[in-house]
Amino acid sequence: MIVALWIIAICEVIRALQNMIQIMAIRHDVSKRDNAYAEFIKSLKKDDKQFVKEMLEEFERQAGEQK
């Protein structure tokens, strides 16, 4: 009985550590996520022609940086 309680206690500690790590990862990515949301909303305000033009320019810029 005591062994079972110790096993349960150890599992709960491990679960708490996993949850803590996940929460820290979520808090770390907040600024990136907010930036992505803002960029998405900005893209909705543009017409399709302007959006495609800017997307192609961005792809060309990234391809130039990778060379």
Query: What tokens were used for 42?
Result: 């900005």
Compute the distance between CA of residue 60 and CA of residue 54 in angstroms, rounded to an integer.
Answer: 10
**pLDDT band for position 52 (cuts 50, 70, 90):** confident
pLDDT at 22 over 90: yes
Q: Is the pTM of this model over 0.75?
A: no
**pLDDT band for position 67 (cuts 50, 70, 90):** low
38 contact partners, CB below 8 Å, separation of at least 6: none
pLDDT at position 20, please?
Answer: 96
Determine what percent of the chain is predicted with pLDDT higher than 90: 34
